[in-house]
Amino acid sequence: MLFETSENYVRKLVADGLRIDRRGFEDFREIKVETGVAPKAEGSARVTIGNTQVLAGVKMSLGDPYPDTPNEGVLIVNTELVPIASPTFEPGPPDENAIEISRVVDRGIRESKCIELEGLGVGEKVWIINVDIHVLDHDGNLIDASALGAISALLDAKIPKYDENEEKILYGEPDRPLPVRDIPVAVTSGKISGKMLLDTTLEEESALDARLTVTTNKNGEIVAMQKGGSGFFTFEEVERAVELSVEKGKEIRKILGGIRD
């Protein structure tokens, strides 16, 4: 009953043109990005959007390439929804929500070709880039926060030195920055009571009819899209979601601009 009351309250507020925290429908909460937070990782970042907090880490190892791309590195994205972050998260294998986040983040990185995977070979092996995303506090908009954490950690990442004589990776001794040439940014539009909202809180997400995540590259081109929820978007709403993703993507990239300076 409390859940239904909260959902109805959110719907009524939105129908009246209001949000619980008094933000505008197209406003994000405060975004903070801190890199280098996990010294044993090759790259790491902690991202907070309001009360939502995500930690992303990059670990690198050498392994076999895919047969059709023998000279390209391999990207693997995993997401963990730890129970301490939310009472709705349960221990065990990744559930459908964790899998969806991983796939959306992976698709944005892969389709934007932001990592220069070519030339990441070492002899017959290639660098395997593991991006691990841990949700620490869940207060909504996990996809955008996770995508931002992943690209921030990649920008922070350094490829470790490799001793060819000993055939050993010298962890803790960085060789060069991971070749990142683009910054994909995911922006999710939520639809409640016929209105479009950005950066929805957990309480607002209880009332979502549908959501649409649009990931763009630095040129403002769409590289990935993902719809969730049982509701629908009109063609005009999809167009607006794309416009908002391009607009907010530019703003968010400015926050990341100093990571490699």
Q: What is the CATH number of the domain that holds 25?
A: 3.30.230.70
SS3 95: coil
152 part of a folded domain: yes
Residue 41 burial (CB count, 10 A): 22
125 part of a folded domain: yes
Splitting the chain (261 residues) into consecutive groups of 10 residues, what average pLDDT does each group show?
Answer: 68 95 97 96 98 98 94 96 82 87 98 95 94 97 98 98 93 96 97 97 96 97 96 97 98 89 60
Side chain identity, residue 200: T
Beta bridge partners of 131: 58, 77
Residues 6+ apart with CB under 8 A from 147: 104, 105, 108, 184, 185, 186, 215
* Cut 0.85: pTM above it: yes
261 part of a folded domain: no
SS3 234: coil
What pLDDT, on a 0 to 100 scale, did the predictor assign at position 208?
96
Residue 31 burial (CB count, 10 A): 18
Give the span between the Cα atoms of 168 and 213, in whole angstroms: 41
SS3 34: strand
- Structurally, the chain folds into a number of domains equal to 1
37 part of a folded domain: yes
112 part of a folded domain: yes
What pLDDT, on a 0 to 100 scale, did the predictor assign at position 211?
98
What pLDDT, on a 0 to 100 scale, did the predictor assign at position 159?
97
Its domain, for residue 209, covers 2-256
107 part of a folded domain: yes
What pLDDT, on a 0 to 100 scale, did the predictor assign at position 257?
85
Among candidate residues 141, 128, 115, 116, the one with its CA nearest the CA of residue 47: 141
- Inter-residue contact 13 to 20 (CB < 8 Å): yes
Half-sphere exposure of 51 (CA within 13 A, CB side): 10
SS3 163: strand
What pLDDT, on a 0 to 100 scale, did the predictor assign at position 173?
95
Q: Are strands 121-122 and 74-81 parallel, antiparallel or unpaired?
A: unpaired
What pLDDT, on a 0 to 100 scale, did the predictor assign at position 1?
36
Half-sphere exposure of 260 (CA within 13 A, CB side): 18
Give the span between the Cα atoms of 120 and 107, in whole angstroms: 20
44 part of a folded domain: yes
